[in-house]
Structure 1
Amino acid sequence: MSQPANVLAQTANFADPASYAGRNTLYWRRNLVICVIGSFTTLVSLSMLLPFLPLYVQQLGVTSPAAVVQWSGVAFGATFLGTALTAPLWGRLADRYGRKPMLVRAAVGMAIVMSLIGMAHNVYELVALRLAAGLIGGYASASIVMIGTQAPRERAGWALGILSTGALAGNLAGPLVGGFLPSLISIRSTFFAGGAMIAVAAILTVLLVREDFRPASDVKNRPAANAVASKAANRAVTITLLLTAMMVLLANMSIEPIITVYIGHLNVPADHLARTAGIVMACSAFGSMLTAARLGALADRIGSWNVIIGCLVLTGLVMVPQAFVTHWWQLAALRGLMGMTLAGLLPSIAKLVRHSAADHESGKMLGYLQSAQFAGQVVGPLIGGFIGVHIGLHSVFFVTGSLLIACAVLGQWARNRPGQAA
């Protein structure tokens, strides 16, 4: 089946040795390895405070149990908010000054801020520093911009899937590390250890990441093919992709505020409740780790839209039986299955967003994609908590499942618009 002319023009430009991707053909595999390592270490450092965050808040002088919970939530969400606000800016600067400087900026900035968190004197400093980590950092986001613009079109889905696996592994390992490290070296020293891990990623990035960025050609001179691609880009389709990315994270995070309460209704003993909730939450990330790269490669073979729509439908359907489980292990199995279907979405969406934008705007568009994802992480728990309190715990699964099915319908509409590639 022949592709539309604008898609052929995009493909031709993407393989052009004079283009940014063409000049970096020799570097993208090594850069992918370093970006996976850096994404893993930075996300381990950011997520490892989950098990002991309330304890640290207490150390900083908060005594009321309700205030401890409130400030812990604010401190944890501040990083997501900061990243959502600045991701488009860093993406735009990556288009102007290159992708590697953004990686170095994120790694160095996060290493400094993470160490400073270990020296916080009060809860206000903790929240401010967590916000700064999001505003200044974003190594995983910068990695998506670099790999998304360097990897060949026919390997982009697989590469972004591998990168997603590293990020998921970091989010999974972080709470495990945070569960035992403070007892060995103290809570404050744990932050210093996290800063040291990110510093190692910064050194690897400076020494090993390679990029052939030429401002004169990559910014000022815009090839005719890019002009055609920019003109043909459909704003409605791009909005659909960004909305879908937000809904993916929203659906995954919507259960977070209620999961412990929900598991408590499944006859789990009170002294095992926290541990069981942690296992159930980890199952989603573990499932995604198993299939992210495979589904990314599948998108390269059969088309990103096919994977996106299929995974949205499957994930929406898997949400429904979670409302009817009678044992915690049933919920864990379904969350793992949901993670496996969710894993195909973000790499495929990132691939489509990247190839719908001209080279000189690809970083900015991928930055908007990161903002949409982090917005979903912020909004998801809020919506899940509201529905759980005012409508019922089971309704959270029905609502989020319905939203995903609606996104699949919207995706099918976007896919059928003129000029869209598979």
Structure 2
Amino acid sequence: MSPTRIKATVLVCHFAGAFGPMGLPPFLGLILAGIAPGAGDRLIGWLYIVPTACLALAAPFWGRLADRWGRKPLLLRAQIGLAISFLLAGLAGSLPVFVIALCLQGLLGGTFSASNAYLSEALPRRELSQALNLTQASARLALILSPVAVGLLIDAHFVPQNVYFVVALLPLAAVAMLLPLPARGAPTSDIVALAAGAAGSRPAPPPLPRGAIMAAQTGFTLAMISTFPFLVPYSMKAFGVGAGTAGWLFGVPHIVYLFACLPLGRHLRDRDPAPWFAAGCLIVAAMLAVQAGTVSLALFTIARLAMGMGMTLGYVALNAMIARTIEDASAGRMFGWFDSGAKLATIAASIGGGVIAAGVGITALFLAAALCGVLTAVTVLRLRGTTTLPRSAAAE
């Protein structure tokens, strides 16, 4: 099977796996109203992060098993685990059973890291960074489309809890699509190390240490995610727009990513990604500061568009940095740790954002997120400054 077909199949299946986890959380209040009336308001925030927290705990374990047992079996396991958790959530007749289903969604899922680990084995190494950009794109496409689709189902008089039965069909369909894929990808001898650069190009700088990349991912996630839960109500109150317009304002950066990730990925293929990542952080920080201070809807919209470019540049460069550190024998474990770190940072961003917004206001939250972006950029540039080319490469 050709690498292109393998990549397309994995991406479609990743979108199918991401559809439920992305689309259902905004409707937790409606779902809980049918399971535990009166308990929803005080539990929504905590239940929102339960699958993420469980995934953060489980991802490194599943990644280690993927390296030992094979990436394809663990990718199939992740899709089957999602289907089981969705079916249990649909059947849950009490709050404890529903909470168990949400825990299983995190503990048994993990399609993002499982898909990336399989792609690292199935694709030539110099194509891995672009593949990581595409798995990010499929997640963002699900983030944009799935809440709309779930809302339409509920508007069509589906019982909110029963939507879990519908979304359970998607990972089951993904399992059927993944079964024909080869158990292993290209042999290791066919993989070209990214750190060596493309043929005929100048030697690429050595990759940053994995701990430094994890820190960069954490800082970027904190800058990006902390304002997410508050963007819609903030824009509705600040500009007097309806929920639909506010939803589009929320989605603008993600739409920019869908269009810009591939061209930027090609541009960065043989370049040092660290300075570009820092540039993405600074653009995001500047646009967060603009959003905090503007009273103009037009300027706010422009800032969201520009923030989308910064977000795209940051994620594309981050994926390039990650791809440079991945080794074939430990790809599952490393993607598991990076996914776990991203999920923990997401939880910290959500909780920290809530504390800042409640304590000193939304404007202060935007500025705090901007400061986090600046500090992340400075840290990465300082770390890159202390990392030098090997002597053999420098001599060339």
TM-score (structure 1 length as normaliser): 0.81
In structure 1, the partner of 2:212 is 240
Aligned residue in 2 for 1:78: 50
Residue pair 1:161, 1:292 contacting (<8 A) in 2 also: yes
CA contact (8 A) 1:313 1:405 kept: yes
Which residue of 152, 168, 183 maps to 1:211?
183
- What is the total number of aligned residue pairs between the two structures? 374
- 1:62 alignment counterpart: 37
* Structure 2, gaps ≥5 residues long: 194-205
* SS at 1:210 equivalent: coil
Tell me, yes or no, if structure 1 residue 337 matches structure 2 residue 309.
no
Looking at structure 1, the residues matched to 121 and 371 of structure 2 have their Cα atoms a distance apart, in angstroms, of 33
State the percentage of identical aligned residues: 22
Alpha-carbon distance between aligned partners in 2 of 1:156 and 1:288, rounded to the nearest angstrom: 18
Shift of 1:212: 2.4
CA RMSD of aligned residues (A): 2.6
Asked if 2 retains the 8 angstrom alpha-carbon contact of 1:94 and 1:101, the reply is: yes
| Displacement after TM superposition at 1:213 (Å) | 6.8
Which ranges in structure 1 are unaligned for 5 or more consecutive residues? 1-25, 219-224, 226-233
CA deviations over 1:52-75 (Å, ceiling 9, x no partner): 320111111231xxx423322222
1:49 corresponds in structure 2 to: 24
Q: Where does residue 71 of structure 2 map in the other structure?
A: 99
Contact kept? 1:95, 1:360, Cα under 8 Å? yes
Taking a change above 3 Å as real, the CA distance of residues 88 and 329 of structure 1, as seen in their structure-2 partners, is farther
Does the 8 Å CA contact 1:36/1:167 hold for their aligned counterparts?
Answer: no
Name the residue aligned to 1:384.
353
Cα distance change on mapping 1:173 and 1:261 into 2, 3 Å: closer
* Structure 2 residue 335 is the aligned partner of structure 1 residue 362: no
2:196 equivalent in structure 1? none
Contact 2:129 2:265 in 1 (8 A): yes
Q: Counterpart in 2 of 1:400?
A: 369
Q: Is residue 418 of structure 1 aligned with residue 388 of structure 2?
A: yes
Aligned partners of 1:288 and 1:341 also within 8 Å? no
Given that 2:232 and 2:250 are in contact with CA atoms closer than 8 Å, whether structure 1 keeps it comes out as no
Structure 1 partner of 2:175:
202
**Aligned twin of 1:12:** none
Q: CA deviation at 1:27?
A: 4.5
Distance 1:328 1:111, change over 3 A: farther
One-letter code of the match for 1:43?
A
**Matched residues in 2 for 1:337 and 1:131: separation?**
36
TM-superposed deviation, 1:195: 0.3
Instruction: List aligned pairs for 1:253-402, cutoff 5 A.
Output: 253-268=225-240, 272=242, 274-328=243-297, 330-402=299-371
**Partner Cα distance (1:77, 1:367) in 2:** 18
> How far apart, CA to CA, are the structure 1 residues paired with 2:207 and 2:132?
23
Q: In 2, Cα distance between the equivalents of 1:362 and 1:338? A: 31
The match for 2:200 is none
Per the normalisation by structure 2, the TM-score is 0.86
Partner of 1:249: 221
Deviation (angstroms), 1:278: 2.3
- The aligned runs of 1:157-176 (5 Å cut-off) are 157-176=129-148
- With over 3 angstroms needed to count, the CA separation of the structure-2 counterparts of 1:151 and 1:414, relative to structure 1, is farther
The code of the aligned residue for 1:61 comes to: A
**Contact 2:58–2:107, Cα closer than 8 Å, also in 1:** yes
CA contact (8 A) 1:87 1:370 kept: yes
